[in-house]
Every structure is written in C-alpha cells, then in structure tokens.
Structure 1
Amino acid sequence: MGDSFTEGVGDPDPTRPNGLRGWADRVAEVLAASDPDFGYANLAIRGRKLAAILDEQLEPALALQPDLVTIYAGANDMLRPSADVDGLLERYDEAIGRLTGTGATVLVWTAFGARKSRFYAMLRGRFAYYNELVREIADRHGAQIVDYWRMSEYDDWGMWDVDRLHMATPGHELMAIKVLDLLGVPHSLSQPTPIVHPVLSSREQRAADLQWTREHLGPWVKRRVTGRSSGDGISAKYPVLTAVRQG
C-alpha cells in the first residue's frame, strides 16, 4: 500500500505493469522463491496522499486477507505547507490498527532523513514530528518500523533518480535488502553500487539545478497548483494476488 515509493517509481522495467519494478517487487520475488503458493499484490499509486491511500487501498488490502502488509503513506502530504499532521496520523493510527488486527505482519516507514538536501531542509522538523507519531502508532499496534530516517546510505545522491524525489534502481535494491533483513528472511541480494555522478564546478552545478527546476520541480509545483496528480489515470500494478515473476 502507498504511493510512488512502493509502486517503484525510479526503478524502470518496461516488461512490468506501469513500467516499474521497485523494492516491493524485489522483496516479493525473494519471498516467492521459497513458497510456490505465494501471492503478491501492489496497490500503490504514485502521487497519492495519505487520505487517498486509505480511502482507495485499505479495504481492498483487507479483503485479500494478507499475511504481510507494507504501507508508507504521508510523504506527499508532508510536502504541502498546510498539512494537518496530527489529523492525518489519527487516520493512519486507525488504519494500522485495523491491519495489525487481522494478525498480519505490518511494516511502516519513517520519513527519509534528507540530511544533504537543500530542497527538503526546511521540512525536516515536520518529517521528524511525523516520524515520532509513526513510532507511537507502531508501538501501540505492534507494527514493525523500517527506519528510513536513520538510513545514512541514502545521503548519497547516487541512490536517487534524476528528479531528486524518488529512489533510483540502487535505492530500490537497497530498500529491498533493508526490508528482508528486518523480516529475517534469508536472501542473496547484493549490496547495490550507487550511481556515479560527475563532480561539477559551481557553474555546472547551478546549470544542473536550473535544469532540475525546469524539468522536475516546476511540473511538480504546477500539479500542486492545478490540483492534478502524477497518478491521474494510473492503476495499481497488481490489484489482486498474483504469482511473482522472477527478475
């Protein structure tokens, strides 16, 4: 359950639904390798805010009677200056309670630390508050935390896509390892090598920042202003339990 993070944006694979693979597909492949009856659903859709994730995905997820549920929701809300963090996390609390109440293992995420991002620097306090509420929710309901906030490996821009908003393939590969390790599932996944970016001069960096603003930040802001979403017209990759194709 979730948004672009779980859908797999930044990890392209034209042979898969929505043209994406992602960390969740990678985890599912490992789990399926030891269980021929394993079924995988991925309900996440890019751009979804917390309320939409719960409104659209919670009941379908419960109907699947899952043994394991992952959910990362709220990141898109935290980027809005008017987000009601307390109100949003009250709904999240209720949803996590319903998921854990089924007996399923439930994984939730803290927000990314963004220690080296000027774009996110002004929001780190809000992210930290969100994280504390997520930790309280996990403690209350017995969910497990994937602690993105403390993963210093993601301070390396080689883990990120060119839009600086989504993990690139190495970032998804590493997240799959983090999840499997938390679950205690044996695997043979290799530690990914971050993308190597050229060292830029100050002038080159300014030009790169302007290009990023024009190609990525500008369209993102325009969608916010016009009420559109990158997920408009997008469907869930795997809306029902599906046999997993090995990567």
Structure 2
Amino acid sequence: MALGDSFTEGVGDVDSTRPNQMRGWADRVAEVLCAEGDWEYANLAVRGKKIGQVINQQLDQALALSPDLVTIYAGGNDILRPKADLDALMRGYEGMVRRFAEAGSKIVLFTGFDTVESPLFSKTRPRTAIYNEKVREIADQHGAVIADYWRWREFSDIRYWAVDRLHMNELGHALMAAKVLEVLGTQGITDENWSSKIQQPSLPDFAVNSRGEKLRQELGWAKEHLAPWVKRRLTGTSSGDSLSAKYPDYIRLTVDAN
C-alpha cells in the first residue's frame, strides 16, 4: 500500500499505458514484489496533496484494505508553504502512522530530499531538516523503517530529475525503486537480492550548452513549469484536483499492467 503525493504517484516517470499516465518508483517496486512473491499492490497517492489531505482522503481507505506493508511520504507540498505549521502537521502525521502501527502494518517512512544544491528550492532546506527530524522521531516511536532520501546523495545528480526540476525522471524513479527494495531487504521484509531486479539504465552524458541555449532553456522552463505552479498557488488549486488514485484496490501488478 502506497500513500502520498506526486512522489509516490510517480510524476516524472511518464508511461501512457498507466493510470494517470505515470509509472514511478512505487509501481516499479510492486512489479518486483508481485513477480517474486505473493504480493498485491494498491497506490492511493495523488499529486499536489498535503499532509492533511493525505490523512483525510487516503488514511481510512488504506486502513480498510488492511495492508501488511505501507509506504508513506507526505509533506513536500507543505514545506513549500512557509506559513504551514509543521509542528501541528506532524502531530497529525504521527497519528496517521500510529493507526497503521496499531493495525499491525509494517511501515516505511521517507525523509525529505536535501535541496542544498537546488537554486530554486535551497531556501526550504531548514524546514525539510525539521520535517526529517520529526519523521525520525515518529519512526522511532512506532517502529517504522526509514527510507533516507536526505542521505542518498546520488539523487543530487541533475540527470535523475525531470525537466520541471521538481520531480524525478524515469532514471530517478528506477534508482528510488532499487533503494526502497534494498531497505526492505535489509529489514527482512523482502529478499535481500530483489533490489538487483530493478533495471538501471545508463545515465546520459552531461549536456554542454551554449550561454544562449541555457537562457532559452531557462525561459522555456519558467513558462512551462514555474508560471503554472505559481498560478496554482495563487488560485488555491492543485495539479491533482481532477485526478483519482491510480490503484485504489489491490492488484497484482506486472510490467505490462495498465
């Protein structure tokens, strides 16, 4: 069972055959689990969701399906809002994790990505650090497993990121899937060797662009990605408002699933 926002929905890993036209690391993990063991998979994550929305819109539905294993990552969209009260939000987050723990689910929580090298999002780094410490405290309190995105420095490579600069691309999602399977293996939840079943395409060479080409890319990015994001913030809308969960009920997911 996967809960959360665009990170877990799979935004950036485009696949027109999938619901919402996205694959993503959670699908990739599920493909391995379903192929290698007696697993089924559900994914309730929808892009743009904040912590409160994940709690209100996904928690009860997930608990009703009695998951053996649940992954939760929410908070990135809250961190981007300076006025959001992280302490209050993380109290709700803890309550969500506690309900899964009381139900007997194994729980995987994610720390937030370190934006130290991001010109656009580096100012959110202190809030992400606070969020991460809260996640670690919650994990300690309820026996959850940590998938430590903050410490996985290879994700700082821009070749793992989509053109919107906010989401991982297919290479990033493939690497994340391998990382999550490795965490599950070291915790004895799955076979330790299953992470090797994620195909890792070779990274492309770094692009060498002229100053003019870089400027054109910056202007194109601002028009196609930054401006719509700012407009949604100003109008109180979300990119996920018209979308529903990719897999609201359990399925046995295969590479050819759609």
Within 1, Cα distance between the matches of 2:238 and 2:116? 27
Contact 2:28 2:198 in 1 (8 A): no
2:214 counterpart of 1:213: no
Residue by residue over 1:200-237, the C-alpha shift from the partner in whole angstroms, topping out at 9 and shown as x without a partner, is 23443233222211110110010010011000110100
TM-score of the superposition, structure 2-length normalised?
A: 0.92
- Greater Cα shift, 184-193 or 43-52: 184-193
1:17-76 deviation per Cα after TM superposition (whole angstroms, max 9, x unaligned): 11111100110111111234x221000001111100110000011010101000100101
Aligned-partner Cα distance in 1 for 2:201–2:104: 33
Cα displacement (A) at 1:144: 0.6
**1:61-100, aligned counterparts within 5 Å?**
61-100=62-101
AA aligned to 1:126 is R
**Amino acid corresponding to residue 34 of structure 2 in structure 1:** A
Partner of 1:241: 250
Partner of 1:21: 23
Q: How many residues matched?
A: 246
Listed as ranges, the matches of 1:58-137 within 5 Å are: 58-137=59-138
Which amino acid counterpart does residue 153 of structure 1 have in structure 2? E
Taking the aligned partners of 2:202 and 2:166, their CA distance within structure 1 comes to: 19
CA contact 1:159–1:195 (8 Å) conserved in 2: no
Deviates more, 1:194-203 or 1:217-226: 194-203
Q: Distance between the aligned counterparts of 1:77 and 1:71, measured in 2?
A: 15
- Unpaired runs of 5+ residues, structure 2, are 186-190
Q: What is the deviation of 1:197?
A: 4.3
Whether 1:151 aligns to 2:152 is: yes
C-alpha displacement at 1:194, in angstroms?
3.0
- Distance in 1 between residues matched to 2:88 and 2:124, nearest whole Å: 18
Q: 1:123 aligns to what SS in structure 2?
A: helix
> Aligned residue for 2:57?
56
Q: Deviations over 1:152-201 (max 9, x none)?
A: 11111100000000100000000000010001032222334334441223
What amino acid does structure 1 have at the position aligned with 2:63? L
**Is the contact made by 1:11 and 1:20 (CA closer than 8 Å) also made in structure 2?**
yes
Secondary structure in structure 1 of the residue aligned to 2:16: coil
CA 1:232–1:73 in structure 2 vs 1: closer, same or farther (change >3 Å)?
Answer: same
Q: How far apart in 2 are the matches of 1:17 and 1:197?
A: 32
**What SS does the aligned partner of 2:200 have?**
coil
In the TM superposition, what are the counterparts of 1:143-222 in structure 2 within 5 Å? Answer: 143-184=144-185, 185=191, 186-187=193-194, 188-222=197-231
How far residue 115 of structure 1 moved from its aligned partner, in angstroms, is 2.6
**Contact 1:45 1:236 survives alignment (8 Å):** yes
Normalised by the size of structure 1, how large is the TM-score? 0.96
- What's the secondary structure of 1:24's corresponding residue? helix
**Structure 1 Cα separation of the partners of residues 133 and 78 of structure 2:** 16
